Chains A and B, each alone.
Chain A
């Protein structure tokens, strides 16, 4: 198979923004509530441990891309493990990405329905998002990169301001005693977020479009550290404000922003959180949809991915409805299953490919 010639390009900065947003947008909703179950008062330390798997998968994606320039995981798997096994595993891989993407859509819909639009049918919320993301995905990777560049700075600024507004309600002593049960609880609390960080392996689909000679490693490390610190700060603020109540909250970040009350004047600002969160999750869904569609095109040896976006978007709607029967089902998945699911396909599978590539040194026919 020949290497696909790519004319579309995005910058390393755009990739970093896109991945940081993809990492943080869904994580901020549930991260404190999930990590606190194991980590107790040390929940702020967990994201820093979780970022380890993020760094590993980024390393794998970058090095596999060096070995197979211009190819994605769907393409080079055939070189590593043979044509047909590669096709089969890539098919499963795409299904997994589709499934995880759909679960993100469902998470978005559950949050919006639970918090704001309680009478709107789930399907309407899901379709609204998928139609939009389909439109954005069809426009190609350049547009997606620019969307990230356009939205993310504003989102980050708003996010920082929102967090700063909670300062008057901080009870800093809540953090003590730190490391009550040793370091182990914090590590156990980091396990579920490990799965979320490993989703960054989707970088593999973006690398072929990266401009030549970009300092990708530097930016990826900055991005992972930033994402981990951001989660850590959110966790610590939740602890400051809600203390022993954090485990009982469904969306700690929502409760946090609702708790803001500056001089009985600046309050009820939760709509701001919804705005930035919807933007973040939109970018994440677009990223997933792009990876599914372009991956599918490469898998089927189709020249253009564009015609595939809409049908796959339709599948995404269906998968998101099928993936969980209720909110409880969904959070059980996020808490327990998602880790193994994401780890197998985003960390262990690429690691296998990486080892095979080192040992067998497969030859690539260049055109």
Chain B
């Protein structure tokens, strides 16, 4: 008898092997790879999603054999609502499949929303269980949806394109987590990647940094200023610069190592910040002929390069202190670490202290000539 009961129970359990009762197969999901959020003219939230369209494997083989081109591999849907959640509901109603947020990589925010304050529309991405804090946030000039709908020759979707771009430009990834931490700080100031659209080549690109103060977008820094910001924040990515020594002749330098140390100092009422930049550059090309062989020339190149970096930092520092008066360099944390007790009493006045900080820039750069061909030209 017991044997039969066992058999019977086992058979009943077989039914459970079919899987979950509320399963969602991958072909029932709309996998979102990038999200754009805008503020419309009548103060509503426009939510746009870039949804990956999985390419049929066999179709792909055909096209590589000379068949028809792949065509669009993504689609973009938008919805407007009173706030983010309302727009989200409307978005779900225009997409026939369940929206899946687990693969969202890119968040593009239009500058209008950024100006009005975007943080309270973004709690979805920190609280929802599918969304991840690894998201890359971007601010764009104009509407985010305009960038989302574009198609690009190399990458399949915007998500790939932008994450590749940010990998090229930034030393450390600027994620949603980093963004929230910065907005959580005393100054509520930070800089996020600023995306522009290149009409001629039809690609969006990172054209600087969007400057935030008190959680709101106040202006954009151009590429040169962005470089200055990166120098101060120790985020400079190794890159090529050119130095003119005399009469239009000069050398091309490749940065191979860099490190920036911030040394805060409070002397009486005067707050000081010493920015120590260390770096090493290789000469990769020169139009100086035989001169390049002389140690004196190397010295001159070195001095010139140091001056360039100094003026670069100096410019952006002046602009940050006077025009934006936004602590985008994270000085608040630096002071807090060095002077925790003083900081407690001064942190509420931070926005008035910051513009008056005296900044000292000290650049220690070494230039090496390591090329194979010593006397170019």
Contacts and interface: CB of A to CB of B under 8 A. Distances in A.
B133 interface: yes
Contacts of B180: 245
Nearest to B133: A259
A276 B185 CA distance: 35
B371 interface: no
B246 interface: no
Interface string B160-178: 0001000000000101010
Interface string A255-267: 1001101001001
Nearest to A260: B134
A115 interface: yes
Size bracket of the B interface: 20 to 34
A242 B340 CA distance: 20
Contacts, number: 42
Contacts of B42: none
B185 A258 contact: no
Interface in B129-177: 129, 132-134, 163, 173, 175, 177
B197 interface: no
Contacts of A241: 177
Contact of B129 (A118, A120, A176): A118
Nearest to A116: B129
Contacts of B134: 258-259, 261, 267
A173 interface: yes
A244 B184 CA distance: 7
A367 interface: no
A173 B337 contact: yes
A268 B102 contact: yes
A264 B162 CA distance: 13
B305 to A, nearest CB: 28
A177 B181 CA distance: 17
Contacts of A258: 132-134
Interface string B1-36: 000000000000000000000100000000000000
A239 to B, nearest CB: 11
A259 B132 CA distance: 7
23 contacts: A116-B129, A118-B129, A173-B333, A176-B337, A177-B336, A177-B337, A180-B340, A242-B177, A243-B184, A244-B181, A244-B184, A245-B177, A245-B180, A248-B126, A255-B133, A258-B132, A258-B134, A259-B132, A259-B134, A259-B177, A261-B134, A261-B173, A264-B163
